[in-house]
Structure 1
Amino acid sequence: MREEDMIAAAEEAGFAKAAVMSTEDLEFEHEFRMFCEQNECGNYGNNYGCPPYCGTPEEMENRVMQYKKAVVFQSRTPVNNIFDDAETKQIKKIHTRMTLRTVEALRKNGLDDNGMYVMCGPCNMCEECKMPAGEPCVQEQKRFSCLSAYCIDAAKMAKHCNMDMQWNGDIVSFFSIYLYDKK
């Protein structure tokens, strides 16, 4: 599938921008894991897609680097209060669903279906993660982790893709990635 077609399909699906990049151009900052450990989002140790269950920063980077290419999706969404966790969680969920739908459509048109997702927030495939109850993950094959868990420097990725990462009082930008073309 041609890169131009992927980008056009993503923008038609409602993303503000999309770009294709080499995974070699992604930058990993393992010290970003401390943000997960601070547990500001409340998902550390409470979601199978989040640390410590998702893997170490080195393991996460190695997973990404098994692929040659990444299609990066950006949404820019109006927000009433950027600090309202409930509102931004809902926007992340919408972004995630849009990513899943877009990649599924791209797969039907020839995109590698053996790829891997990196999303903008914690795994939300289930209404409620089974981890806090000590039950096994029921979506293990579909489970995903976020850019932060992978320690991907989103600001550098956005700059490389010519995307505006600015968060201001009334617009929020979120990113997701679909990795493809396994090495």
Structure 2
Amino acid sequence: MKKIEMEKQAKAFGFATMKFMETKDLEFEHEFRQFCEMNDCGNYGNNYACPPLCGTPEEMEQKVRKYEHALVFQSRTPVQNIFDDAETKIIKKMHTNKTLHAVEELKEQGLPDNGMFIMCGPCNFCEECKAKAKEPCVNETMRFSCLSAYCIDAGKMAKHCNMNMEWNGDVVSFFSLYVF
């Protein structure tokens, strides 16, 4: 199946849009790591997919650069309060689930299955990450990190893909990628 045909399926999967881009066009801002270090989300050092456990900014960029292509997913979801962490966590999880489902369907249509996910939030396969208890990850092959952990500039990525980044207070935009 052709890229354009896949992109046209965005709405069927529940996304505002999805676009292909080359990973060489992704921009990494290693200084973004400081936002993870602030630990506003509480996952710093408590989730195997989050810093510092996931790797340095340089290591994370190298992981992505091993791939040539990226399929970028965008959801735009109405919210009551864009600053309500509980509400946005639910929306992030919905976005993640839609991404996983879409990629599985697209693999059946010819999308390579040797890729890696980059999501809009921390890995959430487990109710609570085993990192907190210093136990091994139970789902290492499916574990995913977020754009922030990779230090990917989402604004520049959205602009490159002609995606709307406008935040007007009652709509939140989230992004995820499947690199292959």
Query: Matched residues in 2 for 1:105 and 1:10: separation?
Result: 12
- Aligned residues: CA RMSD: 0.8
1:94 partnered with 2:94: yes
Query: Matched residues in 1 for 2:142 and 2:10: separation?
Result: 21
- Equivalent residue of 1:121, what SS? coil
1:119 partnered with 2:119: yes
Correspondence 1:34-183 to 2 at 5 A: 34-180=34-180
CA displacement, residues 32-61 of structure 1 (integer Å, 9 cap, x when unaligned) = 000000001111011111000111000000
Query: Matched residues in 2 for 1:135 and 1:5: separation?
Result: 43
Q: CA deviation at 1:168?
A: 2.2
- Work out the number of aligned pairs and report it: 180
CA displacement, residues 84-121 of structure 1 (integer Å, 9 cap, x when unaligned) = 10000000000000000000000111110000000000
Query: Matched residues in 2 for 1:178 and 1:11: separation?
Result: 17
Normalised to the residue count of structure 1, the TM-score between the two structures is 0.96
Contact kept, 8 Å, 1:116 with 1:179, in 2: the verdict is yes
- Equivalent residue of 2:87, what SS? helix
- Which amino acid in the other structure matches residue 91 of structure 1? I
Identity %: 69
The 4+ residue runs of structure 1 with deviation greater than 6 A are none
Q: CA deviation at 1:146?
A: 0.3
More displaced stretch, 34-43 vs 126-135 = 126-135
Q: CA deviation at 1:73?
A: 0.3
Aligned counterpart, 1:11? 11
Query: Matched residues in 2 for 1:11 and 1:127: separation?
Result: 29
Query: Matched residues in 1 for 2:160 and 2:68: separation?
Result: 16
Normalised to the residue count of structure 2, the TM-score between the two structures is 0.98
Q: CA deviation at 1:5?
A: 2.0
Structure 2: segments with no counterpart, 5+ residues = none
- Which amino acid in the other structure matches residue 9 of structure 1? Q
- Which amino acid in the other structure matches residue 51 of structure 2? P
More displaced stretch, 70-79 vs 129-138 = 129-138
